[in-house]
Chains A and B, each alone.
Chain A
Amino acid sequence: SQTIHQWPATLVQPVGSPLSLECTVEGTSNPNLYWYRQAAGRGLQLLFYSVGIGQISSEVPQNLSASRPQDRQFILSSKKLLLSDSGFYLCAWSQGYQETQYFGPGTRLLVL
């Protein structure tokens, strides 16, 4: 069966510091991968998606970036965090087009 991992689970960072969040998927190959952000009490906003290694598309321009160095690894980064980057970051995967997206446990980020 497939599992999706995210770490860290919780992170408190000062404004202006860098960020690296990691997501890995097990039990499948060549998944589609997604990064979402959920602000407190709000819905989900798609940030990035990837259909393969090195292929990244961005939905919302901002100070975040994503990379996919390996087939089942998806990384969300920032060089300088803003207060508005605080939120719950969720990674998801799906097996191809029109398949259900399954979500990881999430990383809760607080920028102070």
Chain B
Amino acid sequence: ELKVEQNPLFLSMQEGKNYTIYCNYSTTSDRLYWYRQDPGKSLESLFVLLSNGAVKQEGRLMASLDTKARLSTLHITAAVHDLSATYFCAVDMGPWNNAGNMLTFGGGTRLMVKP
């Protein structure tokens, strides 16, 4: 059974600071997704990482994937209040019925950025 663990579960940080969220998973996969969820809202796709060493950046967020270590990171640079949300990683477990993909989600990291 694939397990996906995120840490920290909760992160309170000051504006302007840097921090990293970690996503570890238990079995082989070379495809990982990061999503953002605002309180009471749905999930918004942030990044898809497709191979070992993949790095994606959007604004103050940068995601990377190390498939050998089974680890993905989401790095936050110079945090601003608007980044406050819950961030989920999701690992692709591979194909089913040769057509679909199954995702296993981490438990989420709730980020609070304080002025």
Asked if B31 contacts A98 (CB within 8 A), the reply is yes
Task: Take A44-B88, A90-B42, A104-B42 as given contacts and tell me if A97 and B105 are in contact as well, using a CB distance cutoff of 8 Å.
Answer: no
Secondary structure type dominating chain B contacts? strand
What is the CA–CA distance of A96 and B104 in the complex, to the nearest angstrom? 17
What is the CA–CA distance of A101 and B88 in the complex, to the nearest angstrom? 13
Please, how many residues of chain B have a CB less than 8 angstroms from a CB on the other chain? 27
Q: Which A residues are within 8 Å of any B CB, using their own CB?
A: 32, 42-46, 49, 51-52, 55, 57, 59, 90, 92, 94, 96-106, 108
What is the CA–CA distance of A52 and B97 in the complex, to the nearest angstrom? 11
Asked if B101 contacts A99 (CB within 8 A), the reply is yes
A/B interface sample: 29 pairs, CB < 8 A: A32-B99, A32-B100, A42-B108, A43-B105, A43-B108, A44-B88, A44-B90, A44-B105, A45-B105, A49-B100, A49-B102, A59-B102, A90-B42, A94-B100, A94-B101, A96-B99, A97-B98, A97-B100, A98-B101, A99-B101, A101-B33, A101-B45, A101-B90, A102-B45, A103-B35, A103-B42, A104-B42, A105-B41, A106-B41
Q: Which B residues are within 8 Å of any A CB, using their own CB?
A: 31, 33, 35, 40-45, 48, 88, 90, 92, 95-108
Contact of B33 among A46, A96, A100 (CB under 8 A): A100
Secondary structure type dominating chain A contacts? strand
